Amino acid sequence: MCKPPLQSSRRKNIEFEPLSTTALILEDRPSNLPAKSIEEALRHRQEYDEMVAEAKKREIKEAHKRKKIMKERFKQEENIASAMVIWINEILPNWEGMRSTRRVRELWWQGLPPSVRGKVWSLAVGNELNITPELYEIFLSRAKERWKSFSETSSENDIEDAGASAADREASLELIKLDISRTFPSLYIFQKGGPYHDLLHSVLGAYTCYRPDVGYVQGMSFIAAVLILNLEEADAFIAFANLLNKPCQLAFFRVDHSMMLKYFAAFEVFFEENLPKLFLHFKSYNLTPDIYLIDWIFTLYSKSLPLDLACRVWDVFCRDGEEFLFRTGLGILRLYEDILLQMDFIHIAQFLTKLPEDITSEKLFSCIAAIQMQNSNKKWAQVFASLMKDNKEGDKNHSPALKS
């Protein structure tokens, strides 16, 4: 008769009770089993108190962690807001005069405010091709005509009669359709029925008509998608076409083996300079840069890194050019150097293909900043230029996977 009140008063004295079966250890045994001895009851009480104390510690630790994250986020939002005012009121109106100043470059390194990101990217990439919104509409119309004609084509003979170039274009259009469905699938905005599906389809289709010599290559959809998220349709196309016209992107998307090998060779010069231990480890497995760099360069890291972090990489890429793409690659290798040194060929390749999702901009950019893009007093451009001069040396034993 007295047991329930005792249990109740005992429970009331417990300040913290986990939402689990932890407290069952304090319960008396069922009547059909031997009762607990005093020693056992005391031991159970001690064990319970220890479990509660540990749970309290974890809860306090998690609370501190959440508070720290919120504080950092609030500070970051404040920094973005103040930076946005500087970009809008001071830098953008005086772009040509201020873009190369130390103050702007330092502000740029910290990441562009989302509200001005697209505008800064457009200005930094430029428009050497002199593409206008009207020109985009012309090539978009051509793309739509081709989609219509291909959908109406009913026999294989018709495709064969149209010639190899038409078949190539159809292959590009089919690949675009397939690739769009695999572009940022977790966002559900580029897939069929999503708000940006048709927009991405239009930009990529227009490009294949604008540059039939390049056509569509896997990976382009990620680049176009990132631009679409930050720019209006025509501006996204203009930036896309000009970006892909840069020497590095053109070499990769045209699959110019000779040029790609030179980029890999230049990368390895700085790899050995900055991370000699890891460089030798990779060499011991004959693990060449093409195995991991191709995917990173083709998508400008937008597939390999979280989207917000990829955008920050794009920010500095627009500031520093192709050199920063390879510096970022070295930053990733530096960040995970200790882990990679414990892995074999297969595990390294798998790890670098799918990087950890918890990678943060602070950690990555700290590692990128530690990478020195200088070798024997030669900077990236000078090292690459010297490799370009020696055509024979550039094709020797750097990436067997490409040669095969």
Rounded to 5 degrees, φ, ψ at 378 are -105, 135
Residue 135 lies in a domain: yes
Neighbours of 58 (CB within 10 A): 11
Both structure tokens of 200: 């991405």
- Check whether residue 283 and residue 241 sit in a common domain: no
399 falls within a domain: no
Residues 6+ apart with CB under 8 A from 300: 222, 223, 226, 310, 313, 314, 317, 325
Q: Which helix (H) or strand (E) holds 375?
A: strand 374-375
265, 394 contact by CB (below 8 A): yes
Residue partners of 291: CB distance under 8 A and separation at least 6: 349, 352, 401
Residue 295's contacts (CB-CB under 8 Å, 6 or more residues apart) are 219, 303, 304, 353
Provide CB contacts within 8 A for 228, sequence distance 6+: 196, 199, 200, 203, 236
Residue 158 has pLDDT above 90, yes or no: no
Q: Is 1 inside a domain boundary? A: no
**By residue range, what is the domain housing residue 214?**
130-150+168-245
Note the maximum CA span of the chain: 97
Q: DSSP labels for 233-300?
A: HHHHHHHHHHHTTSHHHHHHHTT-HHHHHHHHHHHHHHHHHH-HHHHHHHHHTT--THHHHHHHHHTT
**3 state DSSP class of 127:** coil
Q: Do 207 and 316 fall within a single domain?
A: no
- Say if CB 295 and CB 308 are below 8 A apart: no
The chain-wide mean pLDDT, for the chain, equals 86
Q: Is 124 inside any structural domain?
A: no
Q: Which ranges of 285-398 does DSSP label H, i.e. alpha helix?
A: 290-298, 307-320, 322-335, 337-340, 345-353, 361-370, 380-389, 391-394
In a domain, 47, yes or no: yes
Instruction: Tell me the average pLDDT across 221-247.
Output: 97
Structure confidence by residue, pLDDT tens digits, 122-148: 999 999 999 999 999 999 999 999 888
Q: What is the DSSP letter of 231?
A: S
In this structure, are 231 and 203 located in the same domain? yes
Same domain, yes or no, for 266 and 344? yes
Higher-confidence residue of 51 and 21: namely: 51
Q: What total number of domains does the chain contain?
A: 3
Is residue 87 domain-shared with residue 64, that is, in the same domain?
A: yes
Whether 317 and 257 have beta carbons less than 8 Å apart is answered as: no
Percent of the chain clearing pLDDT 90 (strictly above) = 62
Examine the pLDDT at 44 and tell me if it is beyond 90: no
Please say which residue of 245, 275, 290 terminates a domain: 245
Domain boundary among 245, 274, 308: 245
Residue found under tokens 């990128």: 368
User: pLDDT at position 12, please?
Assistant: 45
Inside any domain, residue 371: yes
* Whether residue 218 sits in one domain with residue 268: no
106 shares its domain with 189: no
Do 265 and 313 sit in the same domain of this protein? yes
Query: Cβ distance 169 to 208 under 8 Å?
Result: yes
73-130 pLDDT tens trace: 777 777 788 899 999 999 999 999 999 999 999 999 999 999 999 999 999 999 999 9
Residues paired with 375 in a beta bridge: 378
Hey, what are 263's tokens? 């980029």
Span 23-44, mean pLDDT? 76
Residue 116 lies in a domain: no
